[in-house]
Each structure stands twice: as structure tokens, then as C-alpha cells.
Amino acid sequence: MFRSLITAKLLFSAILIATSAIAARAQVDTANPKPAAGNEVIQPLVPSKSKVGGRVIFADTGLPADDALVSLVNPKSPRPLGGMTTNKRGAFGLGGIPPGEYYVVAQSREEFGSGYPSIPNPFRTGDEDFDAARLEVFTRGFPKITVDGRNVIQLEIRIPRSHGGVISGQITGANSAAVPRASVTILRRLNNGLRTIEAIRAGDDGRFRVTRLPPGDYFVRALGLEKNEFVDVHELELPNAVYFSSTTDIKEAVPVTVLQDQETGSINISLETRKLATVSGLLRMGRSGKPLANVMVGLRGQGRDHIMNSGEDGGWSFSHVASGKYTLLVGSSGVSMPAGPPLPAQPYVHKYQELIVGESDIKDLVIELSQGGRISGTVMLEGSSPSKPNSIAIIASSLTRDGQNPAGARVNSDGSFSLAGVPLGEVTLRASIFPFKEYITKSIQWNGIDLLKEKLNVVEDSDIRNIVVVIAPAAPH
């Protein structure tokens, strides 16, 4: 990293020296113009007298946007010119603007979150389609002006509600402490390879927010820097840089999906680098050992869900799993409401288990499922009512937290229901009725037993039939 930092500092110094030399030469030439080749006379530069000013307001409320950042963007070379923040009345004024065409772009204080309000810079990537899309998102809703070096333009700039796609998150270090002013780079794979799209500094609390991004997949990279350190953000291999989520290798980085005019949040990166692990295993029936194919397997935790279906051999595998506590889920859990297409009966008990993932891979994790029991019966509506429930589901839940998820099934139009994969041991039955709170369960009976007070004992491959559930409209409040 130090080599890159030193190179960047030297390059920055060289630019300053070169700029000073050009300025000094320009002073000499303009003071004593001399004939050049072909008898062309070098004329002194005439400072532009053009000014652009006005107010910035929010489009939806009409209120002044104080501390909004105003800059000019040349569509042919979108490197912002100038840049100032508005006062409490939303007023701004820019002068000495070279002739040309510009978009007058304003960014609200909220667009920067708690990060440094730096001048926005929609980098040119060389991919014409993406550059055009980025420019359109970046300048959408803002006026385009023509500056001739003499004119004075007054504008009312309206900050639109939509700011394109947004990526936000926080950069942390050891012990989850915020890393102030971390360098954050947004990259994307284009037709001409991986390119830097945006580069900013996070705020003192490590938070960042990048706005006005076209839809698509991006990579987010973070690097801890001292206040006066600089790096070449276009460099793809920066030592000690960490990609989301917590990897130093771009090949292992997790893409961040940006949707049209929506925010993708919680893109948090820890600079306390950890190796991402692979968690994999097999699903099979406990009695027969038969592999279970096409069964949903989920790994939930650390603010991220990994989901897939098991293969023909019962195998499943998740890569790029950060260290932490997870819940491993096998099969779906519960029944979706309101009514929809009935779910196919699953001949096994859906399970869950807690899992701690470290830096080492977890392989060959075998999960054996039991067939569980079956429960069937009828639901009856008490009394006469002009309306009927939109949907009813019967749920059977284990009384103990032993890794067995509930079994559920929707009630058919004739009032019948049938549950498969019912958890083993003592279970409770309940009716889930939609619309909620408009109906109550009066009774659940089986062979004279009140199942609202008693529990069912389910064993492997048991078949409990003729359960009668009575529901009724809830009393008006």
C-alpha cells in the first residue's frame, strides 16, 4: 500500500508543479506576446465574465435546500467544474465559467449521508453505453445551460425525489469500531473490463452513501487511509483493500445489486479481514439414507441470506460465508397467507439448526430428516355468516425447540385438510385464518379430546385422522 500511496503523492506533486509552470509561462507570454510559427500571435486569455446563480429547492416540498452541493457537468467531459454549497436560503453563485454547455447539478446534504460532501465525479469508463446511462442518471431533472463567457444566468434548481440507484453502508475495523474517512470505491464489470465508477471518503462514523447509479451489479471496495493519504482509485489491486463482503480478492467479492431508483443498504465492510468460508453438506432420509433432491436449504445470519435447492445427490453448498452465527434451515417453514396455490406435501419434517462459521470451511455436514407424522381432518364454520374466510391454514408446531419447524397446510374448499411431515413428539394445533382478527377458533377436537387444552403426541409415520376444527366470526368490538 505504501508504494501506491507514495506514487499517488508524487503524482499529485508533479501535477501541482506542472500546473504552476504552465501558469508562470502563461503570465510571461500574455505580458509580452510574441509571434509564433506561421505569424500566429498568441493572445492573452480573457477571463470569462459568465455567472450562474440562483436557488436550490426540493422538488416535492418547494423548501430551500441548504448545504446542497452545486456543480457544473460538461456532458462531453463529465468532470465537475466548480462546486459550492448553498446557504440557508438555498442560494448559490458560480463565476468565471469557461464557455460551453453544462448541466447544473445539485446534490442534497442527505445524498452524502454522514460522508464527506466531495464534488461528485462520474468517471469516464470507456464503455459508451454505461457512460451514457450514468450521465443520464447523474443529470436527470437538472437544467442544461449554454455559457458564452459574457452572459449571466439565474436558475431555480429543483432536486428531484429520485436519485437513481443508491448503495450505502458502513466501514468498520477491529472490534467493529467505525473507520473514519475510509476510502470507498464503487466498481463495475463493463464490456472493457472492471472499471471504477465512483470514489468517495466515508464520514467520521464510517458511513458512506453513493447515489445516482444506473441499475446493475457493482463491487464495493474499502481501504483505511490517514487524513492526508491518497491512492489511485482506478488501480484495481490496492494492498490491504477489502471488498464486500470481507475479502481481499476481487474474485471472491460478492456483487451488490442496484435497482432502479432504490437504495441497497447495509453494505457493511470490515477492514479486519477474515477468510470467507464454504459451508456444504448432504440431505438424506434418516431411515433409508436416500438422498433428498430439490429441497430448499437456507443459511440465515449476519444480515445476509444464502438460499439454494439440494441437487440430485442431496448435495448443497454455500461459498463466501463470513464468520458469525447462522441458522441453517431445511425445507420451507410455515404456510404463506393469504390463499395461493397449495404447496405440495413434503414427506419429511422441516428442520433448523444453529451453526457457527469461522474461517475454516465446513464440509460434509450431513442432515438427516425424519418422515414425521400425518394429520388430517375437517374445518367447520359455526353459524350463518354472509362472508367466508379468504384462507385457512392448520399449523402443527413442536412444543420444544429441538430443531423441528412447524408443518402446515391450507384448508381445501370442502373444509378438509391434510398435513404431512408433522414434527415428532408433543405438538400443538392452531388455525391461521385470513383476514386476521375477524374469526376465532372455537374448538379443536379429536376422538373426544379437546386439543385446545391437550397436546397431540406424534411418532414416526403416525396417521392421525378425523380432527374437527370449529371456527366462528369474532364478536364485534
32 pLDDT exceeds 70? no
Residue 67 confidence class, pLDDT cut points 50, 70, 90 = confident
Per-residue pLDDT at 227: 62
In a domain, 63, yes or no: yes
Q: Which of 116 and 16 is assigned the larger pLDDT?
A: 116
Average confidence (pLDDT) over 284-290: 90
Residues 392, 302 share a domain: no
Find, among 332, 326, 322, 318, the residue nearest to 393 by Cα: 332
457 pLDDT exceeds 60? yes
Per-residue pLDDT at 249: 87
In a domain, 118, yes or no: no
Residue 264 confidence class, pLDDT cut points 50, 70, 90 = very high
Distance CA 18, CA 477 (A): 81
CATH of the domain at 64: 2.60.40.1120
In a domain, 22, yes or no: no
Residues 317, 403 share a domain: no
- Are the C-beta atoms of residues 277 and 362 closer than 8 Å to each other? yes
Per-residue pLDDT at 174: 79
Residues 364, 295 share a domain: yes
Question: Percent of the chain at pLDDT above 90?
Answer: 43
Per-residue pLDDT at 320: 67
Q: Which of 175 and 91 is assigned the larger pLDDT?
A: 91
Average pLDDT, the chain: 81
Per-residue pLDDT at 234: 85
Q: N- to C-terminal Cα distance for the chain? A: 69
Q: Which of the given ranges, 118-122, 125-129, 184-188, has the highest pLDDT on average?
A: 184-188
Per-residue pLDDT at 19: 29
318 pLDDT exceeds 60? yes
Q: Tens of pLDDT along 322-365? A: 778 899 999 865 443 344 444 455 678 999 999 999 878 999 89
CATH of the domain at 452: 2.60.40.10
Per-residue pLDDT at 436: 82
Distance CA 240, CA 217 (A): 23
- Provide the number of structural domains found in the chain: 4
- CA-based R_g, the chain, Å: 32
Q: Tens of pLDDT along 265-275? A: 999 999 876 56
Per-residue pLDDT at 3: 32
What are the φ/ψ torsions at residue 201 (nearest 5 degrees)? Answer: -105, 140
Residues 397, 293 share a domain: no
Residues 390, 346 share a domain: no
Per-residue pLDDT at 244: 93
Q: Which of the given ranges, 123-137, 304-318, 432-446, has the highest pLDDT on average?
A: 432-446
Q: Output helix, strand, coil percentages for the chain, rounded to the nearest 5.
A: 10, 45, 45
Per-residue pLDDT at 240: 76
Per-residue pLDDT at 450: 95
Question: Percent of the chain at pLDDT above 70?
Answer: 80
Kindly tell me the burial class for residue 82, based on how many C-beta atoms sit within 10 Å of its own C-beta (0-12, 13-18, 19 or more).
middle
Residues 313, 226 share a domain: no
**Final residue before a domain boundary, out of 273, 299, 315:** 273
Q: Which of the given ranges, 79-88, 148-157, 223-232, 387-396, has the highest pLDDT on average?
A: 148-157
Distance CA 288, CA 268 (A): 44
**What angle is formed at CA 185 by the lines to CA 183 and CA 187, rounded to 5 degrees?**
165
Residues 407, 358 share a domain: no
Per-residue pLDDT at 345: 53
Of 44-48, 90-94, 313-317, the one with minimum mean pLDDT is 44-48
In a domain, 80, yes or no: yes
**What angle is formed at CA 91 by the lines to CA 88 and CA 97, rounded to 5 degrees?**
145
Residues 6+ away with beta carbon under 8 Å from 387: 473
In a domain, 26, yes or no: no
Q: Which of 409 and 118 is assigned the larger pLDDT?
A: 409
**Final residue before a domain boundary, out of 250, 273, 296:** 273
216 pLDDT exceeds 80? yes
Residues 453, 430 share a domain: yes
Per-residue pLDDT at 346: 60
**Final residue before a domain boundary, out of 212, 242, 273:** 273
Q: Structural domain of residue 352, as residue ranges?
A: 277-369
Residues 466, 403 share a domain: yes
21 pLDDT exceeds 60? no
Element (H, E) at 329: strand 324-330
Q: Which of the given ranges, 117-126, 281-290, 300-309, has the highest pLDDT on average?
A: 281-290
Give pTM, 2 decimals.
0.46
250 pLDDT exceeds 60? yes
Average confidence (pLDDT) over 193-197: 91
